Amino acid sequence: MTRLIVRRVLWTVPVILLVILMTFVLMRQIEGNPFRHSERAIPESIQQNLEEKYGLDDPWYVQYLRYVKGVVTLDLGPSLVLRNRDVNDIVREHFPPSLELGALAMAFALVFGIPLGLLAALRANKWPDYTAMVVANVGFAVPSFLVATLLIYFFAVRWGDVFDVPTSGWESWQSKVLPTIALGLGPMAYFARLTRGSVLETLQQDYIRTARAKGLRRRRVVVVHTLRNSLIPVVTAAGPILGFLITGSFVIEQIFAIPGIGRYYVTAVTARDYSVVMGLTVLLALIVIVANMVVDILYGILDPRTREAR
Amino acid sequence: MSAPLLEVRDLRTHFFTREGVVRAVDGVSLSVDRGRTLGLVGESGCGKSVTALSIIGLIPKPPARIVGGEVIFDGRDLTKLSERELEDVRGERIAMIFQDPMTSLNPTLTIETQLVETIRRHNDVSKREARRRGIELLDEVGIPNPDARIRDYPHHLSGGMRQRVMIAIALSCEPDLLIADEPTTALDVTVQAQVLDLLDELRREHDMAMIVITHDMGVIAEVADQVAVMYAGQIVEQASAVELFARPEHPYTEALLGALPQLEDAASRAGRLTAIPGRPPSLLDPPEGCRFAARCPYAGEPDGCAEHPPELRELRPGHLVRSEHPASERARSREGAPA
């Protein structure tokens, strides 16, 4: 187990380098320049000075190596557009809300999605199943911005007297409720469907029949023998989804005015703020890598066969 | 002789599918005495396994349902019990082992967990005590080095060893009846004999009754005291093993025995294996009369057996047959017929 973890950690190094290289190349392929705006003409000499200052006139591989060195020393460089701001500052300030929102949405999705799927499977083709699956399908099909809008309309406007939840900001716990639901509903629906299918399949297994033939109580058959074996596909999907929830909450952050990192990401791309784009990409890649690593470790815990295969 | 341990009377288990009602078990009656072994033999799909699963209430519901009959076990009708009451019978009084030991154990739990949970489910003992008993059981079923093996996961063991673990789990609560559904079919031939010997030995030592379900007459010959032959959801012949092999009465049983490979002499070794022509009837819409009529070499004689279903009748004490023309009566009628 320890060997597995060490190996996975070492593997992140080449992956990160590759991510940096690809982002680097792709960003330079886009036309434009952080200092060359068409609407406000800046004298050519000033532009050249600026490019020189930020090292944009060096050959691309020098820039790349310099950037890699920065990442290794945990210095993501200055923002090219927001003067006097380091990428490190932006991350320090705006990443925590995004991380928290993603984690809350993930927790919401798992805590409600898995039991919902389990319930549906145990009452397959009866009304609890149909109800759960209608909820899941709707939750999956409706885009998060619409969910967010509906939540705001009903819980903050229509029944605002009853619930009294704020619709913007990220300070009180009340302000975190609606964004969490809006972001987590889709993944919750997905987990519910996944769990239902997986549990139904597990229930068909011979070892479930054995467990029942041993006279085990239904609760034990379901919790110990069925659920544990059914969670493997759910865990597989959970890794990438966690990455997506932390990085892809731009829309929700915008709607609820959450000072998260998603907004910086999008504006940085349009402004060609190379260092911000690079920094955030590396950060998000790291999150996805860590999430997948956790998935692999969970595999080992859930299924002893995978523990030894590595 | 006291009442039998298990008496199944006119059991009917039907599957309600989209295509219609499949009468998988359609009027099965059989009985098992304490400490004896009943062999239940028949080809694939004849309803052997469904019969066994019906006895301990493990048929897949839906689509299956017991629509009629009784399963009297030690004086109680199991078909009338609630699911919770049945859970107390399963594992404790009636244990079951299955065909495929590779898939019948939970791959994510250790042997220890799977043994201990069974012991502790039916006995009020500590974890440590249950573990000690588990190791004893593994030793008893012939697993070498049981202290270490108990910590293994199923995938560490071979098929034969896994079936031994299954047997250990089944024995863990000293059941009165062990149902073994094709216990050796998935195993290597050399291992098959070992497992059969083990089962028979354990049955004697623990004084338990067994139902051994198989399609293999060789297995029957090895372990069974009594034999019930099943065909298309019904019992067609029941007799002691000795009697059945010596004097089979039902044309189906005769054909089954005739289809066995013979090793006695060079002539039979050289010949081809005989097969039973045709296929068993669909249980969606079984024929009105005798279900074997379409494949029976003696049907069509003017007894109307293809129209009227023959009853299971006792030809000799302890020898029951469901056929209008059992072997002994055919012989008599040939003798009695005018030359």
| Helices and strands (DSSP H and E) totals, chain A | 15, 0
For residue B338, pLDDT over 60 is answered with: no
Mark whether A191 and A293 lie in a shared domain. yes
CATH number of B239's domain: 3.40.50.300
User: Over the Cα atoms of chain A, what is R_g?
Assistant: 24
Same domain, residue pair A103 and A42: no
Q: Does residue B63 have a cis peptide bond before it, meaning omega lies within 30 degrees of 0?
A: yes
In a domain, B305, yes or no: yes
pLDDT of residue A195: 94
**What's the pLDDT score for residue A158?**
81
User: What is the edge-to-edge ordering of all strands in the sheet holding B234-240?
Assistant: B94-97, B177-181, B209-214, B37-41, B226-231, B234-240, B319-321, B313-316
Range of the domain at B44: 1-93+211-339
For chain A, the average pLDDT equals 84
Task: Provide the token pair at A58.
Answer: 């060096």
Q: How confident is the model at residue B152 (pLDDT cuts 50, 70, 90)?
A: very high
Residue A154 lies in a domain: yes
Classify residue A80: in a domain, yes or no: no
DSSP string across B271-291: SPPP---S-PPPTTS--SS-T
Alpha carbon B74 to chain centroid, angstroms: 19
In this prediction, residue B339 has a pLDDT band, given cuts at 50, 70 and 90, of very low
> Minimal Cα–Cα distance from B107 to chain A, Å?
8
Share of chain A above pLDDT 70, in %: 95
Same domain, A113 and A259: yes
Q: Is A237 within the bounds of a domain?
A: yes
Q: What value does the mean pLDDT take over residues A2-27?
A: 82
Q: Which of B159, B110, B165, B116 is nearest to B139 (CA)?
A: B165
Which is more confidently placed, B61 or B129?
B129
pLDDT band at B210 (very low <50, low <70, confident <90, very high): very high
**pLDDT tens per residue, range B254-282:** 888 887 776 666 666 666 777 787 788 88
Interval A225-240 mean pLDDT: 89
B329 part of a folded domain: yes
Backbone angles phi, psi at A27, to 5 degrees: -60, -40
Which residues in chain A have their CB less than 8 angstroms from residue B121's CB?
214-217, 220
Give the residues across from B177 on adjacent strands: B94, B209
Range of the domain at A295: 94-309
Q: Which residues of A touch B (CB under 8 A)?
A: 205-207, 209-218, 220, 224-225, 228-229, 302-305
pLDDT in tens, A250-278: 888 888 888 888 878 888 888 888 888 88
What is the reported pLDDT for A12? 80
What is the CATH classification number for the domain harbouring A249? 1.10.3720.10
Amino acid A4: pLDDT: 73
Same domain, A216 and A258: yes
Same domain, A140 and A259: yes
Residues A170, A255 within the same domain: yes
CA A265, A271, A274 angle in degrees (round to 5)? 70
Across the interface, whether the CB atoms of A216 and B117 are under 8 A apart is answered yes
User: Does B226 map to a domain?
Assistant: yes
A299 and A251 in one domain? yes
Task: Look at residue A108 in the predicted model and tell me its pLDDT.
Answer: 95
For residue A190, what pLDDT is reported?
93
Residue B127 lies in a domain: no
Residue A208 has a pLDDT of: 93
What pLDDT score was predicted for residue A39? 61
Residue B113 binned pLDDT confidence (cut-offs 50, 70, 90): very high
Residue A31 vs residue B326, higher pLDDT: B326
Give contacts of A212 with chain B, Cβ < 8 Å. 58, 90
Give the whole-number percent of chain B exceeding pLDDT 70. Answer: 94
What three-state secondary structure class fits B236? strand
- Establish if A127 belongs to a structural domain: yes
ipTM, two decimals: 0.86
pLDDT digits (tens, 9 = 90+) for A142-180: 888 898 888 888 888 888 777 777 777 788 888 888 889
The answer to whether residues A108 and A32 belong to one domain is: no
The answer to whether residue A88 sits within a structural domain is: no
Structure confidence at residue A310 (pLDDT): 44
With 70 as the cut, is the pLDDT of residue A82 above it?
yes
Q: Looking at beta carbons, which pairs linking A177-180 to residues 24 or more positions away fall under 8 Å?
A: A178/A148, A178/A151, A178/A152, A178/A256, A179/A101, A179/A105, A179/A148, A179/A249, A179/A252, A179/A253, A179/A255, A179/A256, A179/A258, A180/A101, A180/A104, A180/A105, A180/A108
Give the tokens for residue A81.
């557009």
Q: Do A225 and B109 touch (CB under 8 A)?
A: yes
The neighbouring-strand residues paired with B38 are B211, B226
Say how many C-beta atoms besides its own lie within 10 A of residue B193's C-beta.
15
Report whether pLDDT(A218) > 80: yes
Query: Closest approach of chain B CAs to the CA of A295, in angstroms?
Result: 17
Domain assignment present for residue B158? The answer is no
Tens of pLDDT along B178-209? 999 988 888 888 888 888 888 888 898 888 99
Of A42, A72, A102, at which residue does a domain stop? A72
In a domain, A240, yes or no: yes
* Other beta carbons within 10 Å of A29: 7
**Of residues A100 and A30, more confidently modeled:** A100
Chain B hits for A214, CB-CB cut-off 8 Å, are 90-91, 95, 117-118, 121, 169
Is A303–B105 a contact, with Cβ atoms under 8 angstroms apart? no
For the CA atoms of B327, B332, B335, B339, the dihedral, rounded to the nearest 10 degrees, stands at -90
**Which tokens go with B174?**
């000293």
For residue B30, what are the β-bridge partners? B8
Residue A123: closest CA among chain B residues belongs to which residue?
A: B62
User: What pLDDT score was predicted for residue B213?
Assistant: 92
Do A221 and A130 lie in a common domain? yes
Contact A218 B153 (CB under 8 A): no
Residue B38, pLDDT score = 92
A204 and A281 housed in the same domain: yes
Residue recorded with tokens 């927001």: A82
- Would the pLDDT of A36 be above 70? no
Q: Report the C-alpha gap between A8 and B81 in whole angstroms.
A: 54
Residue of A193, A189, A201, A194 whose CA lies nearest to A226: A201
% of chain B with per-residue pLDDT over 90: 26
State how many domains chain A has: 2
Judged by CB atoms closer than 8 Å, whether chains meet at B118 and A217 is answered as: no
Predicted TM-score of the model (pTM): 0.81
Residues of B with CB under 8 A from a CB of A: 56, 58, 83, 87-92, 95-96, 98, 100, 103-109, 117-118, 121-122, 153, 155, 166, 169
Mean pLDDT across B159-165: 89
Q: Is residue B231 domain-resident?
A: yes
Q: Give ∠ CA A235-A237-A243 in degrees, rounded to 5.
A: 105
Enclosing H/E stretch for B320: strand B319-321
Say if residue A298 is in the same domain as residue A158: yes
Q: Per-residue pLDDT tens for B223-251?
A: 889 999 998 888 989 999 888 888 888 88
Q: What is the pLDDT of residue B301?
A: 59
Residue B291 CB partners (closer than 8 Å, separation 6+): B231, B232, B233, B234, B280, B281, B309
Instruction: Please name every residue paired with B213 in a beta bridge, in sequence order, or none if there are none.
Output: B40, B181
Give contacts of B88 with chain A, Cβ < 8 Å. Answer: 215
Per the structure, how many domains does chain B have? Answer: 1
